[in-house]
């Protein structure tokens, strides 16, 4: 599925489709890393770096490209539906012993600092996206 999403990313000409396929690639790759490594911190760091840094820069550059209308790519729709059907057979099972609450991760001082940093990074990411809104962005005139 990652290869199929990569093909979608390379062959798309519409900016919003490129950004959405990049998000899907990062999420699928982080799930794959989670199952390969067995821990979620590396995949969590990958998602935070991609969504807060690289994706904002990529979205800024893609916003400079003029929006073109979606053309009917029947082959892409069929491939996307097939990808979703194949992906639906692999259901991710969350076990209670691996939940965030049972890890007691947020109960210590360091855990509270982690929670603060996660909230801070999320708020900064939302602020940057809000500031680079397409109609009022710094690169648009």
pLDDT of residue 35: 75
H or E stretch including 33?
Answer: helix 15-37
HEC secondary structure over 63-130: HCCCCCCCCCCHHHHHHHHHHHHHHHHCCCCCCHHHCCCCCCCCCCHHHHHHHHHHHHHHHHHHHHHH
So what's the pLDDT on residue 72? 56
C-beta of residue 82 within 8 angstroms of C-beta of residue 38: no
Element (H, E) at 55: helix 55-63
Q: How many other CB atoms are there within 10 angstroms of residue 12's CB atom?
A: 18
> What pLDDT shows up at residue 96?
44
C-beta of residue 9 within 8 angstroms of C-beta of residue 25: yes
- Local confidence pLDDT in tens for the 141 residues of the chain: 666 666 766 676 676 677 777 777 778 778 777 777 777 777 788 888 877 777 777 777 667 766 666 555 565 666 666 666 665 555 444 444 455 555 555 566 666 676 777 777 777 777 777 767 656 655 555
pLDDT digits (tens, 9 = 90+) for 22-46: 777 778 778 777 777 777 777 788 8
pLDDT tens for 96-105 read 445 555 555 5
Domain ranges of the chain: 1-101, 104-134
pLDDT of res. 140: 55
* C-alpha torsion angle, residues 131, 136, 138, 141 (rounded to 10): 170
């Amino acid at each position: 599925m990652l290869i199929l999403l990569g093909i979608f990313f390379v062959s798309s000409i519409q900016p919003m489709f490129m950004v959405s396929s990049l998000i899907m690639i990062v999420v699928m790759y982080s799930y794959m890393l989670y199952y390969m490594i067995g821990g979620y911190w590396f995949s969590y760091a990958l998602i935070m770096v991609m969504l807060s840094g690289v994706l904002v820069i990529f979205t800024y550059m893609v916003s400079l490209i003029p929006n073109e209308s979606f053309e009917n790519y029947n082959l892409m729709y069929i491939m996307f539906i097939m990808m979703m059907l194949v992906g639906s057979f692999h259901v991710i099972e969350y076990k209670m012993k691996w939940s965030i609450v049972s890890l007691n991760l947020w109960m210590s001082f360091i855990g509270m600092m982690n929670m603060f940093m996660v909230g801070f990074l999320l708020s900064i990411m939302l602020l940057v996206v809000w500031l680079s809104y397409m109609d009022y962005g710094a690169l648009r005139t």
